[in-house]
Amino acid sequence: MAADDLIEIELMLNRFKRLMGEVMRGVIARNSFQPWELEILMDLENCQLERRRRFDILRQYERAVERQLGTGPGPPMRLSQFLAMREQCSGDDFKSA
């Protein structure tokens, strides 16, 4: 990976962490977004999360995106993609048990 790509991924990860921090606090404190950030916000709005598990699921999602960006290019996966992968993994575990 080129140095410019690494810098871009690092900036993307920092923007993602900032966005997730704002979402978890319930206060979006800015009005300028990257297109992928808007996609994530719209996806978050469409995903139905149990109120009592919301914070835990968002933390798991944040860690999954950190792993994703640590191993490859962006943009960050959407929450719906994370939930589908999580469901598939739990289904695989259930089938093998």
From CA 43, how far away is CA 81, in angstroms rounded?
10
The pLDDT score that the predictor gives to residue 93 is 55
Q: Tell me the CA distances in angstroms from 29 to 18, 21, 65, one per residue in order.
A: 10, 10, 22
pLDDT digits (tens, 9 = 90+) for 33-78: 999 999 999 999 999 888 899 999 999 999 999 999 998 888 999 9
Q: What is the pTM of this model?
A: 0.85
The pLDDT score that the predictor gives to residue 92 is 61
**Percent of the chain residues past pLDDT 70, beyond the cut:** 92
Q: Where are the domains of the chain?
A: 3-96
The pLDDT score that the predictor gives to residue 1 is 61
